[in-house]
Amino acid sequence: MPVRVGIPRGMYFYKYYPFAKTFLEELGAEVVPSPETTKEILDSGVKFCIDDACLPVKVYHGHAYKLRDNTDFILVPRLTSVSQKEYICPKFGGLPEMVKYSVPDLPPLIDTEVNLHRSQKDLKKALFKLGSALKIKNPLRLNNAYNKALAEHHSFKSKVFEGNTPNQLINGAAAKNKIEGNHTIGVIGHPYLIYDSFVNMKLFKKLEDWGIRFVTPEMVDPHIINERCNELSKRMFWSSGKSLIGGALYMMDNSNIDGLLLMTAFGCGIDSLAVEYIESIARKTYSKPFIILSLDEHTGDAGYNTRLEAFKSLLDWRLTDDNNISSYGRSVHSY
Ligand code: SF4
């Protein structure tokens, strides 16, 4: 019987699941992803995780717990850096310990460190260590699995770049990015916020029903994101902050994008810097409709929907009535 490796559907799942799945399957493992987030998963995450963690970390704990009975191992990599000369949020580095000591009844964790700060080549070394954890040490087999995983990762990234959401691709649903409508908005946020349809309260379904097309940072050319971040006075070394800020600057300048929706986790240190910067630029320099939705486990449907509807009304109003003459400041219509 193949060894069953569980992958929690949270944190960087929406970026790296196809990569990890292909690598593990090539080594003969059966990959078991946890199901889509539900209230039950969120509640168990909140129960087991420390109180002051952000929402995505709590959700991740709930997903790990969900995998406790039907897996032999759970993959919780220790992600330190996923790009050369950049770091990611330290919470990723602490996840294996947090999960191991907070969530009961789990099978052993595979907590291989991935640290590409020095060189992208260190990815291969990390994967060879991951293979060893599954008792596979044959370099040819590992190398082959690595190459196939990398090819799958590039193909997945290009499909997201073309406008498919990671969820559609991972769940095998037909591409739904051809929404007919009058507006296109930028949706900015960490992948584990904007692509988790429970956490984002079915945001994309709502936009689709309203005929609003959307662009996310993963749908923007990474070279453009780099270029836009190079305009900053200091080098941005947080990978996720870079994608948020570079993506937002591009979207604010793009005349095909009518408004910006920024989704953030309450209490997130990286977002507190990135969001403040984006908001200040949006307010000072642009007059596009702009909304910030801050999420935690207490965020309720009613307030969220009201704010989204107000944002939609603003977009509609802009299209039909707005003459862009402001009676106060740059525009009365941006907030
Ligand atoms: S970047 Fe923010 S939201 Fe993401 S894990 Fe870190 S603290 Fe949480």
Tell me the CATH number at 67.
3.40.50.11890
**316 pLDDT more than 80:** yes
Determine the structural domain holding residue 75 and report its residue range: 4-161
Boundary residue ending a domain (133, 161, 189):
161
Instruction: Confirm or reject: Cβ of 37 under 6 Å from ligand 1.
Output: no
143 inside domain: yes
Same domain? 194 vs 60: no
Residue 41 Cα to ligand 1 midpoint, Å, equals 18
Instruction: Confirm or reject: Cβ of 228 under 6 Å from ligand 1.
Output: no
Residue 139 Cα to ligand 1 midpoint, Å, equals 35
> For the ranges 121-125, 160-164, 329-333, which has the lowest average pLDDT?
329-333
d(CA 331, CA 335): 9
Domains identified in the chain, total number = 2
Confidence band of 266 (pLDDT split at 50, 70, 90): confident
d(CA 214, CA 61): 29
pTM check: above 0.85 = yes
Laid out side by side, the sheet with 109-110 consists of: 30-33, 4-7, 73-75, 109-110
Instruction: Confirm or reject: Cβ of 222 under 6 Å from ligand 1.
Output: no
Same domain? 139 vs 174: no
84 inside domain: yes
pLDDT digits (tens, 9 = 90+) for 185-222: 999 999 999 999 999 999 999 999 999 999 999 999 99
Site to substitute for ligand 1 among 88, 244, 271, most atoms within 8 A of C-beta: 271
DSSP helix/strand/coil, 67: coil
**271 pLDDT more than 60:** yes
Give 3's DSSP letter: P
* Element at 215 (helix H, strand E): strand 212-215
CA-54 nearest atom, ligand 1 = 8
Instruction: Confirm or reject: Cβ of 56 under 6 Å from ligand 1.
Output: yes
Residue 106 Cα to ligand 1 midpoint, Å, equals 23
Task: Measure Cα distances from 324 to 260, 312, 320, 330, 334 in Å.
Answer: 17, 17, 11, 9, 11
Of 172 and 194, the one with more pLDDT: 194
Residue 296 Cα to ligand 1 midpoint, Å, equals 12
Residue 297 Cα to ligand 1 midpoint, Å, equals 14
Boundary residue ending a domain (161, 182, 214):
161
> For the ranges 57-61, 140-144, 265-269, 303-307, which has the lowest average pLDDT?
265-269
Question: By alpha-carbon position, which residue is closest to atom 6 of ligand 1?
Answer: 89
155 inside domain: yes
Instruction: Report the pLDDT value the prediction gives residue 328, as an integer from 0 to 100.
Output: 44
Same domain? 64 vs 12: yes
Instruction: Confirm or reject: Cβ of 57 under 6 Å from ligand 1.
Output: yes
